[in-house]
């Protein structure tokens, strides 16, 4: 099975660019996520972290 996939992938022109594009998307996503984590306001983080503890959305029985 692997030989079939490997042989098929070798026939595609420019197939080596796909791993580089994937790495670039991965790197950009986590760089932006890292930046957002350190620049997010403390008030927003506190508000979002308390959402699971609120009882306002409990179904009434």
Q: What is the pLDDT of residues 4-57, one digit of tens each?
A: 777 777 787 887 888 899 999 999 999 999 999 899 889 988 888 888 877 766
Place of tokens 């009434």: 60
Please answer whether residues 15 and 9 qualify as being in contact, where contact means their C-beta atoms are separated by less than 8 angstroms: yes
The predicted pLDDT at position 55 comes to 73
> What's the whole-model pTM score?
0.56
Half-sphere exposure of 34 (CA within 13 A, CB side): 6
Distances (CA, A) of 52 to 16, 59, 61: 45, 14, 20
Element (H, E) at 24: helix 17-39
């Amino acid at each position: 099975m692997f030989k079939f996939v490997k042989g098929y992938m070798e026939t595609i022109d420019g197939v080596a660019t796909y791993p580089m594009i994937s790495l670039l998307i991965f790197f950009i996503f986590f760089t932006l996520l890292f930046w957002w984590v350190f620049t997010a306001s403390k008030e927003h983080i506190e508000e979002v972290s308390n959402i699971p503890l609120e009882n306002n959305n409990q179904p009434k029985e």
